[in-house]
Structure 1
């Protein structure tokens, strides 16, 4: 009955709201397998409201004096964007076990959003195809991605003609195609099989990156949109590479080269004047560098540069705290003794679980495939190195019931499954970024490697070294 009344209200809104008379939009949703009891609605990065789910896990909200554009909703750590224009009345339905893939919109304004979410999912799959194309010579590669772009433009034109789409939708849908195309070109030197990046860059046609002259690196409208921000990150990787190879003696293994990363940040400072975009890019690159670099003096140089350019105090403090945590995870230091909860709902200290060589690894519901991949990898390693203990810890800061449901629903669950009791504090103390990080600890609970990766080449040699200590 409640659902019938909800649909009736939406229908009344559609009838009563004339073509140009509405200055508001309605968004509602139903969450299957909810993670929390609420949804948070954002305008850009500002919270509009926190919306409590009813007894049927549904909500509805009217945004008055609507500014046409992107709005973001967050539920249990998952986020997605929705395009709203005056007069829209959108209802979505999603299953948290398959967040993006299950998302479906209905109501006025639904078609454009279903188009955009499907386009997003297709682009994710297309990336693997583009990586394969990157092995072609540059001229052949360009021909292939030009063809992909042309097909997308043709399909979009047909869609626009059929559905009489708005100028705002047309702008966004076209930008998706263009930025995907530009991103493909920016990744080429990095994915191409050659290790000597200087030779790859020098072999490119002179006009390969001529489109950069038209790029707005300070686009206020798209600054929070995935395709645009993804392009910017790939682009600055490449712009810095072109500069770096001019003064480096070794065009190999550039990612953890401090000079290359400082070149990247200098390029951002030169081209990006929008403070929000600049701050986010500097933070992104800073965290990536700190998470993989092992030289403290280089970390200090990168942080010093970022602090001289970034005006985002919160992100700057996060970088400093992250670096401090890294320094406390050096070999020989004791593993921080944090509280975790087991499947029986008992709270224990993590160090009480360690009495032999141990690998502590982490996962989150936000990265569904990583749970499967990491546990499969641990099953393989356990059979080869039975003397090593593997401890799995979930880092999510919402519903422990969801964690228990996930654990009990999996076929190949291991015995040592835990979740942090205080996730925010624990993630900071263990400097868990990126998620594929693992910590190697000896039988005395002392750290052997605080920043290992179970999927990296040489990890099994590290396990042998751990056992031979």
Structure 2
């Protein structure tokens, strides 16, 4: 009897023992006409796994993951995927028609086939966002509601996707809609040329009643993360007392948001920001990243040297498209308007027609128009060709070490296009001057009696 009792206990213990929790997914596939040797899965910017393709374009591996959205990248193409532990997914695609041929099979495939279909639907809808954001408020609301409803219909018709994934996609649809509302004011200013526009009280109620402090959604959904970061950065930018706003954010939001917000807003430390000190102190308080704080301090100290009336940093012996080299000292005696650009920069290229108009208006005046390309060595020939094909005027130069050129670093340039105005004595007038497409540029030139 005693032996039987012991056996029963042992059997009970064995039955109650839990199987180890599976924390990985199986992921395999085949790529036709591969453009790279690898397939990489990212969690945000962190690499989860790099898988090497075999000679016939196949790959297979295990991915240690938690449930959530990831990015699949092959060559220059990428796609959003959703993975759960215990998934066993096989992917096929042909790079000659990447989005149209991307297919999944196996356990977890339904969620990912939905994401692929959603991307294609967005692509085929071919929405003209410039025209949409130029619409008056009532028409804009109708347009973005139509966009939201079409996405909702696609989700409603999706079959066999998991309940958890469906709930997340429902949130994504809502957050993407709210992001459009959030962006309307600034985009409408730009596309409709209505700088004085202010949203109605009812419009503001929609976006002001959102919970922007949801740590759970922030960790999972990129759409919510972008929404929350934009909300807080706009709140700081719209305030006459940013110090107070920074203190409120620091006290009432969670660490991940604060760190990300600090990194997003380092670009606001700029020569034209009258609140640079408040921004610097606020961002330092938000961040827990010591490397970032060192970077921020370096930029803040650099920007402080770029105020109006201070001697301009110089470039020396930059290659001139017409031959020889040119230095900033060669141009002294006239105002110098510098356009920092690159052949790969879409916004830079969109400024070219406006720049030509301004050059024409101030031809033979006391000003030199200088374009400094920061293309790297590999794009040198492309720069030479583009200058010819687009018949660019002024003085066309290329920097000596692209982003790492001393002039670029001395002007704290972290994004382009960037425009700089220097006076005939070599002193800074504006280290972040208006763009050619901005009427304020011509107003400034007239004010200076150029």
| 1:6 alignment counterpart | none
- Residue 430 of structure 1: how far off its partner (Å): 1.4
Matches within 5 A, 1:49-448: 62-67=60-65, 69-72=68-71, 80-83=78-81, 85=83, 86=87, 87-91=89-93, 93=95, 106-108=102-104, 111-118=113-120, 125=127, 127-128=129-130, 130-133=132-135, 135-136=137-138, 145-158=144-157, 160-161=158-159, 164-166=160-162, 170-171=166-167, 173-187=169-183, 191=188, 195=196, 203-204=201-202, 208-209=206-207, 212-213=210-211, 216-222=214-220, 225=222, 227-236=223-232, 240=235, 255=238, 257-259=239-241, 261-273=242-254, 275-288=255-268, 290-291=269-270, 293-295=272-274, 298-330=275-307, 331-337=309-315, 340-341=318-319, 350-351=327-328, 354-355=331-332, 356-364=334-342, 367-368=345-346, 370-387=347-364, 388-395=367-374, 400-405=377-382, 407-409=384-386, 411-414=389-392, 416-424=396-404, 426=406, 427-448=408-429
Report the 3-state secondary structure (helix = DSSP H, G, I; strand = E; otherwise coil) of the residue aligned with 1:83: strand
Structure 1, gaps ≥5 residues long: 1-20, 96-101, 242-253
Report the 3-state secondary structure (helix = DSSP H, G, I; strand = E; otherwise coil) of the residue aligned with 1:303: helix
Cα 1:188–1:372, aligned 2, differ >3 Å: closer, same or farther? closer
Query: Are the aligned partners of 1:375 and 1:413 in contact in 2 as well (CA < 8 Å)?
Result: no
Which stretch of the first structure deviates more once superposed, 123-132 or 227-236? 123-132
Query: Are the aligned partners of 1:237 and 1:264 in contact in 2 as well (CA < 8 Å)?
Result: no
Q: TM-score, normalised by structure 2?
A: 0.70
Quote the Cα distance in structure 2 between the aligned partners of 1:439 and 1:75. Answer: 38
Cα 1:407–1:277, aligned 2, differ >3 Å: closer, same or farther? farther
Cα 1:409–1:332, aligned 2, differ >3 Å: closer, same or farther? closer
- Residue 178 of structure 1: how far off its partner (Å): 1.0
Larger Rg over CA atoms = 2
| 2:45 alignment counterpart | 45
- Residue 357 of structure 1: how far off its partner (Å): 2.9
Query: Are the aligned partners of 2:313 and 2:410 in contact in 1 as well (CA < 8 Å)?
Result: no
Equivalenced residue count is 402
- Residue 333 of structure 1: how far off its partner (Å): 0.9
Report the 3-state secondary structure (helix = DSSP H, G, I; strand = E; otherwise coil) of the residue aligned with 2:26: coil
Quote the Cα distance in structure 1 between the aligned partners of 2:305 and 2:170. Answer: 47
Cα 1:112–1:152, aligned 2, differ >3 Å: closer, same or farther? closer
Quote the Cα distance in structure 1 between the aligned partners of 2:30 and 2:118. Answer: 16
Q: Over aligned residues, Cα RMSD in angstroms? A: 4.5
- Residue 438 of structure 1: how far off its partner (Å): 0.5
- Residue 363 of structure 1: how far off its partner (Å): 2.5
Structure 2, gaps ≥5 residues long: 1-23
Cα 1:439–1:217, aligned 2, differ >3 Å: closer, same or farther? same
Cα 1:322–1:106, aligned 2, differ >3 Å: closer, same or farther? same
Q: TM-score, normalised by structure 1?
A: 0.68
